[in-house]
Amino acid sequence: MKVWKVTACLVFGVVLFLFGGFSAQGAGFSVEVTETEVGQGDTLEVDFTYDGTLGPVAAFRTEVQFDPTVLEYIRPQLGDQVAAGTTTTRVTDAAVQSVYTAHDGVTFLENAETALSYQFRVREEASGPISLYARLFEAVDPQPSPLPCDVEREWSIALLPPPSGDARLLSLIPENGVLSPAFSPEQLEYTMSVPYEVTSLTFTAEAAEGASFWVNRKNLGSGGETVEFRITVTAEDGKTKQVYTVLVYREEKEESQPEESSDARLLSLTPETGNLSPAFTPEQLEYTMSVPYEVTSLTFTAEAAEGATFWVNRKNLGSGGETVEFRITVTAEDEKTKQVYTVLVYREEKEESQPEESSDARLLSLTPETGNLSPAFTPEQLEYTMSVPYEVTSLTFTAEAAEGATFWVNRKNLGSGGETVEFRITVTAKDGKTKQIYRISVYRREKETSQSQESQDARLLSLTPATGTLSPAFSPDRLEYTMDVPFTVTSMTFTGEPAKGATFRVNRKNLGAGGSDTVFLITVTAEDKETKQVYQVTVHRNEKSSTTGAGSITTGSSNSSKGSSGSSTSSKSTKAESSQSDVSSSPAGASSHTGEETLQEEETTVPVAAEEDQKGGGSSGGTVSGGQGEIPVVTDEENQVSLLPGMLILLAFLLFGFLSGPLSKWIAKQLEDGSRNYKPKHPSTPNLP
- State which of 140, 159, 178 marks the end of a domain: 159
19 part of a folded domain? no
Torsion sign (Cα): 541, 547, 549, 551:
positive
CA separation for the pair 87, 18 (Å, rounded): 35
Q: Is residue 401 part of a domain?
A: yes
CA atoms within 13 A on the CB side of 295: 20
- Same domain (yes/no): 152, 174: no
Q: Please state the rounded mean pLDDT for residues 614-626.
A: 39
Q: Average pLDDT for residues 108-131, to the nearest whole number?
A: 91
408 φ/ψ angles, rounded to the nearest 5 degrees: -145, 155
Residue 566 lies in a domain: yes
- Do residue 508 and residue 398 come from a single domain? no
User: Could you tell me if 62 and 155 lie in one domain?
Assistant: yes
81 shares its domain with 195: no
Average pLDDT over residues 361-384: 96
Contacts 24+ apart (CB under 8 A), 71-74: 71/120, 71/121, 71/122, 71/123, 71/126, 71/130, 71/132, 72/120, 72/121, 72/122, 72/123, 73/118, 73/119, 73/120, 74/43, 74/119, 74/120, 74/121
Distance in angstroms (rounded) separating the CA atoms of residues 196 and 216: 21
Nearest to 363 by CA among 337, 394, 325, 402: 402
Model confidence at 519: pLDDT above 90? yes
Of 420, 467, 468, the C-alpha closest to 446 is 420
pLDDT at 372: 95
* DSSP for 161-190, written as a single string: PPPP----EEEEEESSS--BS---TT--EE
What is the Cα–Cα distance from 221 to 251, expressed in whole angstroms?
A: 10
Residue 261 domain-assigned (yes or no): no
Pick the range with the lowest mean pLDDT from 353-362, 446-455, 515-524. Answer: 446-455
Question: What's the pLDDT band for 103 if we cut at 50, 70, 90?
Answer: confident
For the cut 90, the answer to whether the pLDDT of residue 367 exceeds it is yes
- Position 566 pLDDT exceeds 60: no
52 and 135 assigned to the same domain: yes
Q: Residue 671: phi, psi to the nearest 5?
A: -65, -40
Residue 6 forms part of a structural domain: no
**Looking at residue 355, what is its pLDDT?**
65
**Are residues 402 and 440 located together in one domain of the fold?**
yes
- 274 near 289, Cβ under 8 Å? yes
* Mean pLDDT for the chain overall: 81
Report the CATH number that the domain containing residue 439 is assigned in CATH.
Answer: 2.60.40
Between 445 and 556, the higher pLDDT residue: 445
Same domain, 44 and 151: yes
The answer on pLDDT for 410 being more than 70 is: yes
Give how many domains the chain has, as a whole number.
Answer: 6
Q: Say which residues have a Cβ less than 8 Å from residue 406's Cβ, sequence separation at least 6.
A: 427, 428
Least confident of 30-34, 253-257, 312-316, 685-689: 685-689
**pLDDT, tens digit, 9 for 90 and up, residues 641-680:** 457 777 888 888 788 767 666 666 777 677 767 656 555 5
Provide mean pLDDT across the span 607-624. Answer: 38
Rounded Cα distance, 596 and 123, in Å: 81
Confidence band (pLDDT; 50, 70, 90) for 449?
A: low
Q: Is the pLDDT of residue 4 over 70?
A: no
Q: Which of 541, 559, 577 is the last residue of a domain?
A: 541
Examine the pLDDT at 578 and tell me if it is beyond 60. no
Does 575 have pLDDT greater than 60?
A: no
Examine the pLDDT at 439 and tell me if it is beyond 70. Answer: yes
Q: Is residue 234 included in any domain, yes or no?
A: yes
79 and 59 assigned to the same domain:
yes
The average pLDDT across 229-253 equals 94
526 and 622 in a single domain? The answer is no
Work out the average pLDDT over 133-157: 94
**What domain range includes position 574?**
550-591+601-651
Residues 160-173 have pLDDT tens digits of 888 889 999 999 99
CATH code: domain of residue 239: 2.60.40.2340
| Same domain for 148 and 173 | no
DSSP assignments along 466-533, one per residue: SSS--BS---TT--EEEEEE-TT--B--EEEEESTT-EEEES--B--STT-EEEEEEEEE-TTSS-EE
Q: Other CB atoms closer than 10 Å to residue 475's CB: what's the count? A: 12
**The predicted structure's pLDDT at residue 662:** 65
The gap from C-alpha 183 to its chain's centroid, in whole angstroms, comes to: 61
Find the DSSP H helices in 131-277.
Answer: none
Structural domain includes residue 294: yes
Kindly state whether residues 135 and 200 are assigned to the same domain. Answer: no
What's the rounded Cα separation, in Å, for the pair 77 and 75?
A: 7
pLDDT score recorded for residue 322: 94
Helix, strand, coil distribution of the chain in percent, nearest 5:
10, 40, 50
Task: State the CATH number of the domain containing residue 67.
Answer: 2.60.40.680
pLDDT score recorded for residue 594: 34
Q: What is the pLDDT of residue 649?
A: 86
Under the banding of pLDDT at 50, 70 and 90, the label for residue 638 is: very low
Residue 436 above 60 pLDDT?
Answer: yes
53 has pLDDT over 80: yes
Helices (H), 586-643: 611-614
Look at residue 354 in the predicted model and tell me its pLDDT: 55
Residue 11 maps to a domain:
no
Give the single-character DSSP code of 446: P
Establish whether the linkage from the previous residue to 278 is cis, with ω within 30° of 0.
yes
pLDDT at position 257, please? 58
In percent, the amount of the chain with pLDDT more than 90 equals: 63
Widest distance between CA atoms in the chain: 201
Q: How far is CA 205 from CA 169, 189, 236, 244, in A?
A: 7, 15, 16, 11
Whether residue 225 is predicted with pLDDT greater than 70 in this model: the reply is yes
Return the number of other C-beta atoms located less than 10 Å from residue 47's C-beta. 17
- Pair 35, 127 in one domain: yes
175-199 pLDDT, tens digit per residue, is 999 999 999 999 999 999 999 999 9
Which whole number is the average pLDDT over 450-473?
89
680 alpha-carbon distance from chain centroid = 105
Q: What is the pLDDT of residue 679?
A: 53
Most confident of 140-144, 501-505, 620-624: 501-505
